[in-house]
Amino acid sequence: MLKRSAFTIIEVLIAIALLGIILPSLYQGVILLQESNTHLFKHLKKVKKVTQATNTLYLDLVSSDGNLSIKKDEFARVCIESTKNSLYGLSEAKVCWVVLKEKNTLVRVEGIHYDLPISLEDRVEVDAVIENIELFDIYHKKDKILVFLKQKSKDVNTFMIYGVEKFKPKKPNKKKKKKSNKQNLSSPVIPNVK
């Protein structure tokens, strides 16, 4: 009886041939997985950016005093005269959300007491939030705010906020004329005596 201690050349060649068939398909699978992960990462990054934008806009609106000015043309433009949600450490800030024509970029402008368009003297921070905006619209009725935000070839993001009353400027208090306690001298006062 012969004891066999090694593979024959034919067995080694068969193993190499099988590896030659299996390895290329495994390599293609790894490349496909890497491309899929890269695509997923880019998608998640965009979704995260949109989520951060909607969260920031939500906090700007919820923290406001209700003094909003909304102008509409191709896209809506909203300016919040006073919000406590500041990304730059301001106790109260004016924040405007505007869609720029270049690449339809939604930007957030934060500062104190400025007007649009911004002048050189205005001290503001401008953050580009999202590009390729197809829809940005805001409605403010009574105590409700409805926001629509859509990026090109993406789903529409909407949210509604309840409890943000429309701003009503305080009317100056008209001083009421005090009625004088002086009596008319032409009519005599007759005390009630019993």
Encoding tokens for residue 75? 């896209």
Backbone dihedral angles phi then psi of residue 73, each to the nearest 5 degrees: -140, -115
What pLDDT is recorded for position 55? 92
Long-range contacts of 57-61 (CB under 8 A, 24+ apart): 57/97, 57/108, 57/147, 57/149, 58/147, 58/159, 58/161, 59/85, 60/85, 60/95, 60/97, 60/108, 61/145, 61/147, 61/161, 61/164
pLDDT at 185 over 50: no
pLDDT at 184 over 50: no
Q: Coil, strand, or helix at residue 93? A: strand
* pLDDT tens digits along 107-154: 999 999 898 888 888 899 999 998 999 999 999 888 889 999 998 888
What pLDDT is recorded for position 194? 46
Average confidence (pLDDT) over 36-47: 86
Start-to-end Cα distance in the chain: 149
What pLDDT is recorded for position 17? 92
Give the residue, 167 or 163, on which the prediction is more confident. Answer: 163
Give percent above pLDDT 70 in the chain: 84
Give the residue, 163 or 77, on which the prediction is more confident. Answer: 77
- Contact residues for 94 (Cβ-Cβ < 8 A; gap 6+): 79, 80, 81, 82, 83, 110, 111, 112, 113, 114
pLDDT at 42 over 90: no
- All structural domains of the chain with their residue ranges: 44-162
Question: pLDDT band at 49, cuts 50/70/90?
Answer: confident
pLDDT at 2 over 70: no
